[in-house]
């Protein structure tokens, strides 16, 4: 793996006075991947362009104009044959962790893919992780960029087991060694460094805990009952401000309450969602949302969802002025769009799949395609939605239906892989699909939606036996 990374580094240096373009995936991992390699190039004063794309569909590839060197990050491997047709006569680096297609006779290609080194690209290394290997070969002092590889991995939900696994742990060691990361077991509360403890509790929804999830007064009274002060001299106490004894009391109580509502067969996975590995980015400011790797990746994800990945990219590269401001504006806008989407689903209600296992809503013309997944996952703990069954959002647009599916991490821990099911179901009706085990999507012909939903549901039922 290091040999390929070294070849990639050499190829970059060879083109240091030529034209270089980074083409990356428009999601949290892709934004981190691009920022990581771009920072490494900046440090060597190597000029370059950056472009983000949703997918390397054939028409997208056609629209690219090959420079002397193209660096594809977090994508490319799965569309290798299409990329080859256009880039055969050019130098190309691909750093990716998605399942690769075979390719032959392409002398200008350096292909660095997790699967070629028996790494599991789903859980053990992200696109940013593969890019990090190149950055480290470019200059050993790039060890600090490992922090972005950790954010990328978390953006791709590679810590779904409550901790990083496989090669991601090696990368985390580099990050700890270079002083940019602190890794420890903690409560899995979102906004660890940036939100009041009761707010962080309120947003805990997987698994949903009635009386706590989405219910601030319940959170406040729980904290009082547990003798956990909401404020101290410094103002609101955040999850990081709690003592170990307080965290212990809170964790015990949350687990006990969750047990009362979670279906029996999922109970044993509950502690893994409440306690897990927390990743603190030590170079970020004390009360910043960016200080927690989870918060950082959520920020990157929302810039990508708004099709403003360049904002996330600049923040990831270190801008803490204009782009950070722009990102916070985007997050506010994000919350507004989410509220509107939630209201729509609440009004129209959820429909049941043919066998009554999946639940879905059709938001055609109402919710933006890029939000459908977020709305689906927020609905998991809400209203009439069963949080322990998968939820699917559908948007029909000009003959094509865009599908997004989400489920509780508990189902993943029990063995459900929605990514596989959605890929197979989409394929069988002439569409395509993929993503992560708990968050995935597909595109299918509009007139095949019912067929697709039936196949997807059958496959999920089969997986769970
Ligand atoms: Mn990725």
d(CA 338, CA 242): 30
CA of 125 to the centre of ligand 1 (A): 9
- DSSP 8-state symbol, 382: S
CATH number of 353-463: 3.10.310.40
- pLDDT (tens digit per residue) in 91-116: 999 999 999 999 999 999 999 999 99
CA of 29 to the centre of ligand 1 (A): 5
Residues ≥6 apart with Cβ < 8 Å to 425: 433, 442, 452, 455, 456, 459
H-helix or E-strand spanning residue 3: helix 2-14
CA of 396 to the centre of ligand 1 (A): 26
For residue 213, give the nearest of 246, 189, 249, 181 by alpha carbon: 189
CA of 249 to the centre of ligand 1 (A): 36
Distances (CA, A) of 139 to 91, 202, 258, 321: 21, 44, 48, 27
Q: In the structure, what pLDDT confidence band is assigned to residue 334 with cuts at 50, 70 and 90? A: confident
Phi, psi of 404, rounded to the nearest 5 degrees: -135, 135
Q: How many whole angstroms from its chain centre is CA 370?
A: 14
d(CA 135, CA 69): 16
CA of 74 to the centre of ligand 1 (A): 5
pLDDT at res. 333:
87
Query: Does residue 89 carry a pLDDT above 80?
Result: yes
pLDDT at res. 413:
92
d(CA 239, CA 429): 47
Q: What is the pTM of this model?
A: 0.94
- pLDDT (tens digit per residue) in 140-192: 999 999 999 999 999 999 998 899 999 999 999 999 999 999 999 999 999 99
H-helix or E-strand spanning residue 299: helix 293-305
- SS3 at position 351: strand
Q: Which of these ranges, 35-44, 51-60, 405-414, has the smallest mean pLDDT?
A: 51-60
CA of 343 to the centre of ligand 1 (A): 31
For residue 61, give the nearest of 98, 86, 26, 25 by alpha carbon: 86
Query: Does residue 278 carry a pLDDT above 90?
Result: yes
CA of 182 to the centre of ligand 1 (A): 23
Q: Give yes or no on whether 2-158 and 353-463 have one common fold.
A: no
H-helix or E-strand spanning residue 33: helix 28-43
CA of 51 to the centre of ligand 1 (A): 16
Q: Where are the domains of the chain?
A: 2-158, 187-331, 353-463
- pLDDT (tens digit per residue) in 335-394: 888 899 999 999 999 999 999 999 999 999 999 888 899 999 999 978 889 999 999 999
CATH number of 2-158: 3.90.1640.30
CA of 365 to the centre of ligand 1 (A): 29
């Amino acid at each position: 793996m290091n040999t390929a990374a070294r070849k990639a580094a050499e190829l970059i240096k060879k083109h240091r006075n030529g034209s270089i373009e980074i083409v990356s995936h428009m999601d949290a991992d892709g934004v981190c991947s691009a920022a990581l390699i771009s920072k490494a190039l900046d440090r060597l004063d190597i000029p370059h362009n950056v472009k983000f794309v949703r997918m390397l569909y054939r028409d997208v590839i056609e629209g690219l104009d090959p420079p002397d060197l193209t660096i594809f990050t977090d994508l490319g491997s799965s569309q290798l044959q299409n990329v080859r047709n256009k880039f055969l006569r050019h130098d190309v680096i691909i750093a990716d962790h998605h399942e690769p297609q075979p390719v032959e006779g392409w002398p200008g290609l350096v292909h660095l893919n997790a699967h070629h080194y028996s790494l599991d690209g789903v859980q053990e290394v992200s696109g940013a992780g593969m890019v990090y290997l190149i950055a480290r070969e470019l200059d050993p002092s790039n060890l600090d960029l490992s922090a972005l590889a950790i954010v990328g991995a978390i953006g791709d939900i590679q810590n779904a087991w409550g901790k990083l696994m496989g090669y991601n742990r090696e990368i985390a060691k580099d990050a700890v060694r270079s002083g940019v990361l602190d890794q420890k077991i903690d409560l899995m509360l979102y906004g660890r460094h940036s939100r009041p403890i009761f707010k962080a509790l309120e947003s805990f929804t997987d698994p949903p805990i009635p009386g706590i999830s989405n219910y601030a007064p319940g959170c406040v009274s729980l904290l009082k009952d547990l003798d956990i002060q909401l404020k101290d001299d410094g103002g609101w106490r955040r999850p990081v401000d709690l003592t170990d004894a307080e965290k212990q009391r809170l964790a015990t109580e949350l687990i006990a309450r969750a047990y009362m509502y979670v279906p029996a067969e999922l109970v044993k996975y509950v502690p893994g969602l409440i306690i897990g590995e927390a990743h603190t980015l030590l170079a970020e400011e004390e009360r910043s949302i960016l200080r927690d790797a989870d918060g950082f990746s959520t920020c990157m994800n929302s810039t990508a969802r708004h099709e403003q990945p360049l904002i996330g990219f600049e923040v990831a590269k270190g801008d803490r002025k204009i782009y950070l401001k722009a990102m916070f504006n985007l997050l506010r806008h994000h919350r507004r769009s989410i509220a509107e989407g939630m209201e729509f689903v609440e009004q129209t209600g959820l429909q049941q799949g043919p066998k009554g296992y999946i639940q879905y809503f059709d938001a055609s013309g109402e919710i933006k395609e890029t939000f459908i997944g977020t709305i689906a996952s927020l609905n998991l703990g809400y209203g009439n939605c069963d949080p322990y069954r998968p939820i699917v959002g559908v948007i029909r647009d000009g003959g094509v239906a865009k599908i997004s599916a989400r489920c509780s991490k508990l189902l993943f821990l029990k063995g459900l892989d929605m990514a596989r099911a959605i890929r197979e179901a989409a394929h069988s009706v002439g569409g395509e699909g993929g993503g992560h085990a708990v968050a995935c999507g597909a595109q299918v012909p509009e007139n095949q939606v019912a067929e697709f939903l039936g196949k997807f549901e059958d496959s999920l039922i089969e997986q769970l036996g």
